């Protein structure tokens, strides 16, 4: 999942597959994707972290299928009053409608992880739009929520083309600045493994990517949340992140003084 980033401009090859990667955080110093990808993400209104100067955290989960742990995760989030975003596939929507309804009922965001979980850089424009629209329509059918604002591309693979197409459908890409190998259900190593990986990489403005299929994550989550709160961190919603950034950009535009025209 974490690969070195090519120095070739994404704009030169609009459908060149990009595998999301970055320099991991350590000692509270935020993760860094590099100037090229920072600029590309800003161009398309995408995010992988928040303000590095504020101890805010954005908790996100990928839900490709259910492995029996999402209810426990929701219980912890409810107990600790922590918002989260769950990126769901079509399979999840069809097999776990009660859990999806519960996510929305308890104030969480449901995001788009595509219907069939394909590499979106390898499908046509029309197929990509269908992948996103099917998830949105089924979510609305189950929950009554008419809007869907966020997308996380399957396996973190994207391109200039797929980002632009998703933008056209009204989506903002949400990547991440903290993750580890937690999705292999036959290689779970205990709650301490999940706890240690999160604490090692945590930083101000972190967007965490966790998989709900992980028993380690479900078992560690309550301790993680409590201990991060003790360290002064606040868990916030993606809506707070994106709304704040939009407002700041508007303020910057207003404060920019128009240049005086030169006299001939």
CA distance 13 to 16: 5
- Contact (Cβ atoms closer than 8 angstroms) between residue 216 and residue 196: no
Identify whether the C-beta of residue 135 lies closer than 8 Å to the C-beta of residue 117: no
Residue 239 bears catalytic tag: no
Q: Which is catalytic among the residues 62, 182, 216, 219?
A: 62
- Rounded to whole angstroms, the Cα distance separating 141 from 32 reads 38
Decide if 9 contacts 160 (C-beta within 8 A).
no
Q: Is 116 a catalytic residue?
A: no
Which candidate in 108, 117, 173, 211 is catalytic?
211
Catalytic residues: 62, 211
């Amino acid at each position: 999942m974490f690969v070195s980033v090519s120095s070739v401009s994404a704009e030169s090859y609009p459908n060149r597959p990009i595998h999301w990667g970055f320099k991991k955080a350590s000692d509270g110093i935020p993760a860094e994707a590099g100037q090229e990808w920072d600029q590309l993400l800003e161009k398309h209104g995408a995010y992988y972290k928040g303000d590095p100067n504020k101890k805010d955290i954005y908790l996100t989960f990928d839900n490709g299928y259910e492995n029996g742990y999402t209810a426990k995760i929701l219980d912890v989030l409810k107990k600790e009053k922590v918002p989260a975003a769950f990126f769901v596939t079509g399979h999840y929507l069809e097999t776990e409608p009660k859990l999806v309804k519960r996510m929305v009922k308890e104030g969480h965001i449901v995001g788009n992880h595509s219907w069939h979980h394909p590499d979106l850089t390898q499908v046509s424009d029309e197929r990509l739009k269908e992948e996103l629209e099917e998830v949105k329509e089924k979510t609305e059918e189950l929950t009554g929520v008419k809007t869907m604002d966020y997308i996380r591309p399957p396996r973190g693979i994207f391109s200039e083309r797929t980002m632009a197409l998703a933008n056209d459908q009204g989506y903002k890409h949400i990547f991440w600045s903290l993750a580890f190998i937690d999705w292999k259900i036959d290689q779970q190593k205990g709650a301490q493994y999940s706890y240690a990986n999160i604490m090692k990489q945590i930083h101000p403005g972190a967007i965490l990517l966790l998989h709900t299929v992980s028993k380690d994550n479900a078992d560690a989550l309550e301790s993680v949340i409590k201990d991060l709160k003790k360290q002064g961190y606040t868990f916030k919603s993606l809506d707070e992140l994106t709304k704040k950034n939009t407002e700041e950009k508007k303020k910057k535009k207003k404060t920019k003084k128009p240049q005086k025209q030169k006299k001939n």
